[in-house]
Amino acid sequence: MKTLLLGANGQLGRSLIEDGGLAARGELVAASRDGRRYDNLHIETADLSAPDSLSDLLNRVRPDVIVNAAAYTAVDRAEQEEALATRVNGEAVGALGRWAAAHGTLVIHYSTDYVFDGTATAPYPVDAPTAPLGAYGRSKLAGERALRDSGATHFIFRTAWVYAPHGHNFLRTMLRVGAERDELRVVADQLGAPTSTALIVAGTLAALDAWQTADAGQRRAVVGTHHLVASGHTSWHGFAGAIFAGAVERGLIARAPHVAAIDTSDYPTPAQRPAWSVLDNAGFQRSFGYALGDWQTGLNDVLDALSRQRA
Ligand SMILES: NC(=O)c1ccc[n+]([C@@H]2O[C@H](COP(=O)([O-])OP(=O)(O)OC[C@H]3O[C@@H](n4cnc5c(N)ncnc54)[C@H](OP(=O)(O)O)[C@@H]3O)[C@@H](O)[C@H]2O)c1
């Protein structure tokens, strides 16, 4: 199995490489926007803002599986750059899908809770009506549709509140800012499931393994869209509290700052975020026989990894 991984330097892309599971299943070819990996290794170049340029790389690599971890993820900036976000998150995904459909290649793609408007009060099932609140969500929904319309065999894994020991994420911001301040104000009226990249990697590999050993009928039953998120839910305020408690316990910070609960209206941002971002992940667990652990377990594992790095 030859896999082409796009977005090697993102939170998820880097975890997919560092985990080693994709490489262990065959040949792994990684690509980034500038042809450099996070550790300065020279890799392939794939710029999703130029969708027409992707076929050269695809024709040369001829992957059996494309894993697309690249995305325009600047949620607030997307309000000003919707055309670019749509090119990267929508049109480029369609181009990948069309090439894959013509070559019998499986596409594994990631999408987001932001395709929903967050007005629900129960976990969103996979087939719940979508209604993005902002440009980023619209661009990701365009990617989902383009991939479905391409005719490629695909998995779309919607995930949410992603964090890792590396990269730009809420956990790392909290640890940095929390070490500098006595008090932080964190939004308490947005709810979701903080999901570590380790869980997304493990879920992706479980799905890939299930797909590879399945017969044609079983494959037809499991391909399509799934929710790949941790189980349970909390608020950003709850997540911050758990981060500080776990960080103090492991000596990552000397003491926890006071975390004041605020409303979304107290912290206006250019892009509106869904208030309820909880995705029903039961279908994923049933389809692939893989249990998605709760968000607290994922957090403890990432804090343990950070304290091992410090040791
Ligand atoms: N982060 C979240 O909370 C979250 C929530 C829900 C869903 N998701 C989805 O999960 C997936 C992985 O997200 P992530 O958190 O790993 O994102 P990330 O850390 O922001 O990484 C995205 C990667 O995409 C690359 N990229 C951006 N524009 C590109 C372009 N034009 N051509 C090629 N590469 C480009 C970036 O490259 P550079 O390194 O060069 O900037 C970056 O390495 C994405 O599909 C995202 O939409 C994320």
Q: Write out pLDDT tens, residues 99-133.
A: 999 999 999 999 999 999 999 999 999 999 999 99
Could you tell me the residue range of the domain that residue 209 belongs to?
2-163+195-231+280-293
pLDDT in tens, 155-177: 999 999 999 999 999 999 999 99
Q: Is 136 a catalytic residue?
A: yes
Q: Find residue 294's DSSP bridge partners.
A: 231
Tokens of 1: 């199995």
Catalytic residue among 136, 163, 267, 290: 136
In-domain check, residue 134: yes
Total domains in the chain come to 1
The average pLDDT across 215-219 equals 92
Helix 170-180 / helix 236-249 crossing angle, nearest 10 deg: 60
Give the domain CATH number at 144.
3.40.50.720
Contact 252, 303 (CB under 8 A): yes
In-domain check, residue 306: no
In-domain check, residue 189: no
Give yes or no for residue 15 having a pLDDT over 90: yes
Pocket test for ligand 1, best of 57, 73, 81, 112 (most atoms within 8 A of CB): 73
Work out the pLDDT band at 196, boundaries 50, 70, 90. very high
In-domain check, residue 275: no
pLDDT in tens, 228-258: 999 999 999 999 999 999 999 999 999 999 9
- Closest C-alpha among 201, 113, 197, 194 to residue 161: 194
**Residue 136 CB less than 6 A away from ligand 1:** no
State the DSSP string of 56-73: HHHHHH--SEEEE-----
In-domain check, residue 180: no
In-domain check, residue 127: yes
In-domain check, residue 188: no
CB neighbour burial string for 232-271, b if at least 16 within 10 angstroms, e if fewer = ebbbbbbbbbbbbebbeeeebbeebbebebbeeeeeeeeb
CA dist 307 and 194 (Å) reads: 19
In-domain check, residue 16: yes
CA dist 239 and 133 (Å) reads: 23
Give yes or no for residue 310 having a pLDDT over 90: no
